[in-house]
Amino acid sequence: MAFSSFRYTLRDAFRSIRRHKSMAFASVFTIAISLFVLGSTLLLVVNSQNLVSEMESQVEISVFLHLDVDRKDALALQKDIEKLPGFDSLEFIPKEKALANMQNRFGQDTDLLGALGGNNPLPDSYRIKAQSSDKVTALAKELEKFPEVESISYGKEWVDKLVSFTVMVKNVGLAVILGMLIAGLFLITTTIRLTVFARKKEIGIMKYVGATNWFIRFPFFLEGMLIGFLGAVAAGIVIYFGYGAAINYCLKTIPFIPVVADYDLLFRIVGLLILGGTVIGAMGSVIAVRKYLKV
Amino acid sequence: MIQFFNVTKKYDNGTLALDNVSVSIERGEFVFLVGPSGAGKSTFTRLLIREGLPTKGQIMIEGKSIIRMKSKEIPLLRRKIGFIFQDFRLLQDRTVYENVAFALEAVGTPVSEVKRKVPNVLNMVGIGDKYACFPDELSGGEQQRVAIARAIVNNPSILIADEPTGNLDPENSLEIMKIINEINKRGTTIIMATHDSEIVDRMRKRVIVLNKGRIVRDDVKGGYDYGLQ
């Protein structure tokens, strides 16, 4: 394209936005709302995922060893446990500490050890964490196979519920994001189509005077790109500051619920929205114009 | 030179708009297309700018088939042909100057040339002083002049006018015809579809009469009378 053509194109795109202010504003607003809802959904999903993984990390398996396993063998077991699939971390609890814990629970007034005749009936044990809740059951089964292990315990039912909840959050989150994406795309292209429809006469005249399709398309392309960009920036600003405020509020009022206070992630989401909005605006315009180019 | 060879156009709804039409129009000629509504006048002009293809037959402009033309070449064809309409078809959100400049810009004319050509052509059609007006601030006659200026600013070799005086009073019609005649004198081929018998009778140009898609008369210095009963 010659320089003069490019110059006209640029000027036409800006003039068109200026002369169709209300239409351009409606488009920017629609895009901003769509992307805001999409971005919020994304953050909501990220947070519920985070909540679930927080809960997952608290699932523990208690492994009790046989009483006759001596300390050396008990400690040696650690290496084998660490090799198991799904293993995350462990804590060794010697029988003395287990007894001390129990003593604490009964209170210092009682002489627990004395009552037991000087014998500690408690075994050495491990507290083991799995990488995620869905790996707990498999890990527990592996642990049971060690000859040194007498018994294991973990909240099986609770773990199962957590696993199905995690899966649900993932699926629902994905479905909501996908739905919002489609709804947003549809809304945006419809708005742009309306803007283009209002100017189909202009496109027709351009065809009559012998403008090439690209010459006709390009101002719409630029205009759509600019409108998409502005809408996305508006949505990005609201999300960035809105989420920042929401994090602060949550940390103050409900500190026990973990929120994702990761500004890097927030930046990436806002960046993605701006990129997405710009691309959708440009593509939507070109697609909408195509219909009127067939003269 | 424009040549139609056995051109037939049948629309998807079954209407036979042109029926085996063969005609030849020389460079620089002035031709009126007349005939009742639905006779095929508009189809004739639309086919010339490749707005649709004929069902059968061949159309040549300056020795080149426009039927076999690739879609990429259509804009180039249209730059050689100016088109004016009964309803002017001006862009309401642009000034007179911008409406005319638009036709030059659309084909990539340098800015300096646009600045030189637009005032010239506006002066030629007699509305040089209205360049800053928007179309709705002009009378019908003035709007049609803007449309003519836009159609000829690219120096097309052919000017097609589809009922250009259809929305104008007799006085304005006469003025428009003077301008079109002036353009013809400069060597541009004119093809004008019209219902205005007074104009046709007064101008004494070639008249092609269409009826039901066929050419029923072709007179060198004809009048408007169809000769149809």
The ipTM estimated for the assembled molecules is 0.81
- A278 CA to chain B: closest CA distance, Å? 26
Identify the closest residue of chain B to A205 by CA–CA distance.
Answer: B89
Check CB contact under 8 Å for A208 and B83. yes
Q: Is residue A202 exposed (0-12), middle (13-18) or buried (19+ Cβ within 10 Å)?
A: buried
Check CB contact under 8 Å for B79 and A210. yes
- Pick A210's closest partner by Cβ from B89, B107, B111: B107
The pLDDT of B112-134, averaged and rounded, is 95
Q: Is A89 on the interface with B (CB under 8 A)?
A: no
Task: Pick the residue of A1, A200, A205 with the most B CBs within 10 A to test the interface with B by mutation.
Answer: A205
CA-only gyration radius of chain B, Å: 17
What's the pLDDT score for residue B80?
Answer: 92
Task: Pick the residue of B84, B85, B97, B102 with the most A CBs within 10 A to test the interface with A by mutation.
Answer: B102
The pLDDT of B119-128, averaged and rounded, is 94
Could you read off the pLDDT of A132-183 as tens digits, one per residue? 777 888 888 888 888 888 888 887 777 778 778 778 877 887 888 888 778 7
Give me the percent of chain A exceeding a pLDDT of 70: 96
Check CB contact under 8 Å for A211 and B77. no
Give me the percent of chain B exceeding a pLDDT of 70: 98
What's the pLDDT score for residue B29?
Answer: 96
Q: Which residues pair with A152 in a beta bridge?
A: A63
Chain A hits for B79, Cβ within 8 Å: 209-210
Mean pLDDT by 10 residues, chain A (295 residues): 69 75 82 87 81 74 86 84 84 85 74 76 86 80 85 78 79 83 76 77 85 84 88 93 87 78 85 90 83 72
pLDDT at B110 over 70: yes
Averaged pLDDT score across all residues of chain B: 92
- Cα gap B196→B199, rounded to integer Å: 6
pLDDT at B229 over 50: no
How far lies A160's CA from each of A50, A54, A156, in Å? Answer: 18, 16, 6
Check CB contact under 8 Å for B154 and A201. no
What's the pLDDT score for residue B7?
Answer: 96
Could you read off the pLDDT of B135-164 as tens digits, one per residue? 999 999 999 999 999 999 999 999 999 999
Q: Is A2 on the interface with B (CB under 8 A)?
A: yes
**CA neighbor of B65 nearest in space, from B19, B156, B2, B20:** B2
Tokens of A47: 């947070």
Chain B hits for A210, Cβ within 8 Å: 75-79, 106-107, 154
- Look up the pTM and report it: 0.68
Give me the percent of chain B exceeding a pLDDT of 90: 79
First to last CA, chain A: 22
| Cβ atoms of B1 and B27 closer than 8 Å | yes
